[in-house]
Structure 1
Amino acid sequence: MDGAGTALLIGFVIGLSGALAPGPTLIATIRGSLSEGWTAGPKVSAGHAVIEAGMVVVIIAGIAEIAETISVPIAIIGGVVLILFGVLTLKESANAGISTDAAGPAGNSYVAGAVSSAANPYFWLWWLTVGSSLVLEALIAGPVIVIAFMAGHWFSDFGWFTLVAVGSARGTSVLPLRYYRIILGACGVFLMLFGVSYLLKTVSVW
């Protein structure tokens, strides 16, 4: 697999681990689907993607010129946080569930996707550590790699939230609870392994 293909796959799996985790954006999707049907999924995802695109632009604009001097510290922090997120995701998978009981007006799903992302402290923690590290590494490899990574990341968001919206609009769950927990747990294991390999690669280069 070439560099772009690898970046696409990594972006997808890491993005899926975040999308699967219960949180404000997932709730916004469920609430939107109750009034707008399945279209709430891609709408919420689009609002979420706009905020993330802004983060990527800020990261690139802010660190592109000093990438070589800060790449190692950011990579180390990113690797550690990846492992921590992996542990939390694996732990959460044991009792995680998708509730369709999301009462209250949904409002505009595009806005809900953006606001639910921007108001989530874990979103900022992820992008200021893991996200910036991965974007920085991709940037060093070339802009095509950055695009591939984000494309994979957004593909997972749009795919999962759309499936959730379809299921919620029908009053059903998109995945049996057992399989949902297994997939979430597998994502947690991936994050831990990827974080360890990321740290080992960083230390060997350093």
Structure 2
Amino acid sequence: MRELMLGIGLGLGAGVAPGALLGLVITASLRGGFPAGLRMACVPLLSDLPVVVLSIVLAGALPSGLLRGLSIAGGLYVVYLGAEAVMAARTAVVPAPGEKVPSQVGKGVLVNLTNPHPWLFWITVGGPLVVAAWEKGVGPAAAFMIGFYLLLVGAKVVLAGLVAAGRHRLGPRAYRATLAASGLLLAGAGVWLVVQGVTG
């Protein structure tokens, strides 16, 4: 039970924390509605396995220079995505209900893999907790992982639903302004990642 509660608490904190992936969930939900936001919210389920495994196996062995390099590269890519969203917002129109919008999941996976925060979390907090839980048995370790990902993804799914539900109530100008704001949020998260990489 302790491991499940730890996973729930940490997963909720990570799920609502501002950052690049949260910005992508908002942007995807604005452009493609709930299905697009849902796919983006589920990106950690696709991208975190190598991060978790490598972090647990190599905990403490990854050089800090690698994490700084990931932060800079990932930050620059996120700045590019933010700038792209801001530019697209100038002429964007609210998609019609049911209109197909290209999937952005590949971009989300790349952003998550080059973001140092999942790596740092699993090296310093998540990995040791999983190893300690595993020593008690498979059940406690599974409870931690289930609780963590249920809330990490679930919080983003709820946000995607809220954004998608409100997007058709926006007029063209408000829609463009909201899309541009989400692009600025992305760009700001990218700049923060670059600064962390340079100064870290």
The TM-score, its normalising length taken from structure 1, stands at: 0.60
Aligned position for 2:27: 17
Aligned position for 2:179: 184
Aligned position for 1:32: none
Any gaps of 5 or more consecutive residues in structure 2? Answer: 1-9, 127-143
Q: CA deviation at 1:57?
A: 2.7
Q: Does 1:136 align with 2:119?
A: yes
Relative to 1, partners in 2 of residues 1:14 and 1:99: Cα closer, same or farther, differing over 3 Å?
Answer: closer
Task: Say if 1:87 and 1:192, in contact at 8 Å, map to a contact too.
Answer: yes
Aligned position for 2:46: 54
Q: CA deviation at 1:91?
A: 0.4
Q: CA deviation at 1:200?
A: 0.8
The TM-score, its normalising length taken from structure 2, stands at: 0.62
Task: Say if 2:71 and 2:196, in contact at 8 Å, map to a contact too.
Answer: no
Q: CA deviation at 1:89?
A: 0.6
Task: Say if 1:90 and 1:188, in contact at 8 Å, map to a contact too.
Answer: yes
Question: Where do 1:93-112 residues align within 5 Å?
Answer: 93-100=89-96, 102=98
Q: CA deviation at 1:74?
A: 1.8
Aligned residues: 162
Q: Secondary structure at the match of 1:142?
A: helix
Q: Which of the numbers 180, 190, 197 marks the counterpart of 1:195?
A: 190
Amino acid at match of 1:87: A
Aligned position for 2:83: 87
Amino acid at match of 2:125: G
Indicate the larger mover: 50-59 or 189-198: 50-59
Question: Where do 1:135-174 residues align within 5 Å?
Answer: 135-140=118-123, 142-143=125-126, 150-161=153-164, 163=165, 173-174=168-169
What CA RMSD, in Å, does the superposition of the two structures yield over aligned residues?
3.6
Q: Aligned partners of 1:45, 1:76: CA distance in 2, in Å?
A: 26
Indicate the larger mover: 63-72 or 186-195: 63-72
Indicate the larger mover: 49-58 or 194-203: 49-58
